[in-house]
C-alpha cells in the first residue's frame, strides 16, 4: 500500500459537508466519503466529541488520520471518522461547547464565535495519510487500526469483510437507532444498535438455526439484493415471543429468544397455561433466578431456576441434630455412618417439584455419595 503524508486544513474538509443518514456522510467539497460502507456508525458521546473540539481549539495535535485514495481522485476515510464527524458537526452548528467568556463558561455554537475563533478552528491542519491500495489491503488496515481509542466490535469487523448490497440492506433494518428491528424488539434485547450489536444478535440466531457461524452466513448472502430473509426471521422470533408470553416482564429482556425460537417454536404451547405457570414461579421464593423461568417452562430443566439452597446455619444445625450420621448409610447397614461436616451435603427431603421448601424441617444431611446418587435419579 502506497502512503503519503499531507496537511489538510479543517476548512477544506468541512466544505460542502453533508450528513445524509442512510446515504452517507460527505465532505471535502464532495470528494471525501467520511463514512464508507465498512465503517461503524457515529458512536462518540458528548464527552469525546467535545474533547475533539477542545483539542483543536488549543492547537494540540489530533492523532493522524488515514484516507484511502480512489482511482477517480476521491477519498474514503479509513481511520478518523469519529473525529472528522465531530468537527464537521460543530462547524455545521449541530451542537454547542462551553467557551471561556470573561472567566465564565458559556455554551456557544460555531456560528456564535468571533471570526478569530472560527479561523482558529478552520485553519487547524490535520495530519492525513493518503493511502493507495486494493480492497484487501485497505480492509486489512481497517481491522488493525484503533479509531480514537475505540476498538471495533466483532460485528464491525465482520461488516468490513462482507460489504455489499446485502449488508447495506441489513444495516437499514438493524443498525440505526429507532430502526425497525429495534422498535419491534424494544424491551427484549440489550445489544447496542449503533455498534452493530442488534445485527450481530439477529445473525447469531439465524446462523444457529442453519447450523452455521455468522461469517458463513454473511459470506453466503453477501451479494444478495437485500436482507429481507434476516429481517423476516427476526420479526418471526419477536412475534412468537409476544404471542406465547403475553405478559411482558423485565426479566424477558436480554434472553436468547432466537435460540429458544429455533428449538421450541414447533411445539404446541398454550400461552394461557404458560402465563399461569410463570406467574406462580415468579411468586415462588424458592426460585432465585427469575429470568431462568422462561427457559425452564420451555425446556423443563431445573438448573435454570437456581433453586434456593440451604444456608450454612441450617446445615450446621441439622448436622448437630443428626450427630453427623448419614441416615442412608444407616439404612444400608454400612460400616461407616459418621462423617465430618465438610464430608456431608444438605438435601431436600421432599424435592421442590413436589412442594418441598428450603427450611430446616425439610433438610437432611447426607454423605456426599448418597446425596449425589439421589440427585442423579
**pLDDT per residue as tens digits for the range 73-119:** 999 888 888 899 999 999 999 999 887 776 778 889 999 999 999 99
What integer pLDDT is reported at residue 326 of this predicted model? 96
CA distance 274 to 272: 5
> Phi, psi (5° rounding) for residue 18?
-140, 130
Residue 112 lies in a domain: yes
Domain count, the chain: 3
Q: 160 and 124, same structural domain?
A: no
Residue 304 lies in a domain: no
Q: 145 and 7, same structural domain?
A: yes
What parts of the chain have a pLDDT lower than 70? Answer: 1, 21-23, 37-43, 102, 135, 138-152, 376-377
Q: 39 and 12, same structural domain?
A: yes
What integer pLDDT is reported at residue 232 of this predicted model? 98
CATH number at residue 341: 1.10.30.50
68: domain range? 2-152
Residue 278 lies in a domain: no
What integer pLDDT is reported at residue 208 of this predicted model? 96
CA distance 136 to 143: 11
Residue 26 lies in a domain: yes
What integer pLDDT is reported at residue 147 of this predicted model? 47
CA distance 143 to 157: 6
pTM over 0.85: no
All three cell numbers of 298, joined, read: 420451555
Q: 120 and 184, same structural domain?
A: no
Burial of 332 (0-12, 13-18, 19+ CB in 10 A): exposed
**Domain end point (choices 116, 135, 152):** 152
H helix or E strand, kind and range, residue 208: helix 197-209
What integer pLDDT is reported at residue 302 of this predicted model? 87
**For 42-151, where are the E strands, in sequence order?**
65-69, 75-79, 97-101, 104-108, 125-132
Q: 9 and 92, same structural domain?
A: yes
Largest CA distance in the chain: 98
Q: Which residues contact 234 (CB under 8 A, 6 or more apart)?
A: 173, 174, 181, 184, 185, 202, 205, 206, 258
Q: 15 and 141, same structural domain?
A: yes
* 2-9/125-132 β-pairing: antiparallel
Q: 42 and 113, same structural domain?
A: yes
CA distances to 74, 263, 334 from 239, rounded to whole Å, are: 45, 15, 58
Residue 297 lies in a domain: no
What integer pLDDT is reported at residue 103 of this predicted model? 72
Q: 112 and 205, same structural domain?
A: no
Q: 201 and 317, same structural domain?
A: no
Q: Which residues contact 170 (CB under 8 A, 6 or more apart)?
A: 199, 227, 230, 231
Residue 281 lies in a domain: no
Amino acid at each position: 500500500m502506497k502512503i503519503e503524508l499531507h496537511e489538510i486544513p479543517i476548512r477544506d474538509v468541512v466544505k460542502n459537508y453533508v450528513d445524509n443518514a442512510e446515504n452517507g456522510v460527505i465532505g471535502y467539497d464532495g470528494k471525501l466519503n467520511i463514512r464508507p460502507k465498512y465503517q461503524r456508525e457515529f458512536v462518540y458521546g458528548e464527552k469525546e466529541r467535545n474533547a475533539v473540539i477542545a483539542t483543536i481549539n488549543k492547537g494540540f495535535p489530533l492523532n493522524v488520520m488515514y484516507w484511502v485514495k480512489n482511482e477517480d481522485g476521491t477519498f474514503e476515510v479509513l481511520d478518523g471518522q469519529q473525529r472528522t464527524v465531530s468537527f464537521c458537526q460543530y462547524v455545521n452548528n449541530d451542537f454547542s461547547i462551553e467557551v471561556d467568556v470573561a472567566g465564565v463558561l458559556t455554551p456557544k455554537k460555531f456560528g456564535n464565535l468571533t471570526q478569530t475563533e472560527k479561523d482558529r478552528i478552520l485553519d487547524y491542519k490535520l495530519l492525513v495519510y493518503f493511502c493507495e491500495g486494493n480492497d484487501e489491503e485497505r480492509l486489512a488496515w481497517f481491522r488493525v487500526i484503533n479509531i480514537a481509542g475505540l476498538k471495533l466490535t466483532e460485528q464491525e469487523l465482520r461488516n468490513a469483510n462482507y460489504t455489499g448490497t446485502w449488508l447495506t440492506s441489513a444495516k437499514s433494518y438493524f443498525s440505526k437507532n429507532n430502526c425497525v428491528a429495534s422498535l419491534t424488539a424494544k424491551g427484549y434485547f440489550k445489544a447496542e444498535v449503533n455498534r452493530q450489536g442488534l445485527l450481530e444478535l439477529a445473525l447469531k440466531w439465524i446462523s444457529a438455526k442453519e447450523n452455521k457461524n455468522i461469517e458463513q452466513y454473511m459470506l453466503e448472502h453477501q451479494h444478495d439484493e437485500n436482507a429481507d430473509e434476516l429481517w423476516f426471521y427476526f420479526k418471526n422470533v419477536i412475534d412468537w415471543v409476544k404471542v406465547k408470553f403475553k405478559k411482558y416482564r423485565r426479566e424477558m429482556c436480554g434472553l436468547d429468544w432466537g435460540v429458544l425460537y429455533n428449538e421450541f417454536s414447533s411445539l404446541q404451547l398454550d400461552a394461557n397455561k404458560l402465563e399461569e405457570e410463570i406467574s406462580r414461579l415468579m411468586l415462588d421464593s424458592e426460585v432465585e433466578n427469575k429470568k431462568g423461568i422462561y427457559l425452564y417452562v420451555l425446556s423443563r430443566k431445573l438448573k435454570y431456576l437456581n433453586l434456593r439452597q440451604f444456608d450454612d446455619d441450617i446445615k450446621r444445625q441439622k448436622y448437630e441434630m443428626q450427630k453427623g450420621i448419614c441416615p442412608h448409610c444407616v439404612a444400608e447397614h454400612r460400616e461407616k455412618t459418621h462423617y465430618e461436616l465438610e464430608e456431608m451435603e444438605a438435601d431436600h427431603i421432599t424435592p421442590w417439584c413436589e412442594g418441598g421448601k428450603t427450611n430446616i424441617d425439610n433438610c437432611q444431611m447426607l454423605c456426599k455419595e448418597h446425596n449425589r446418587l439421589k440427585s442423579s435419579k
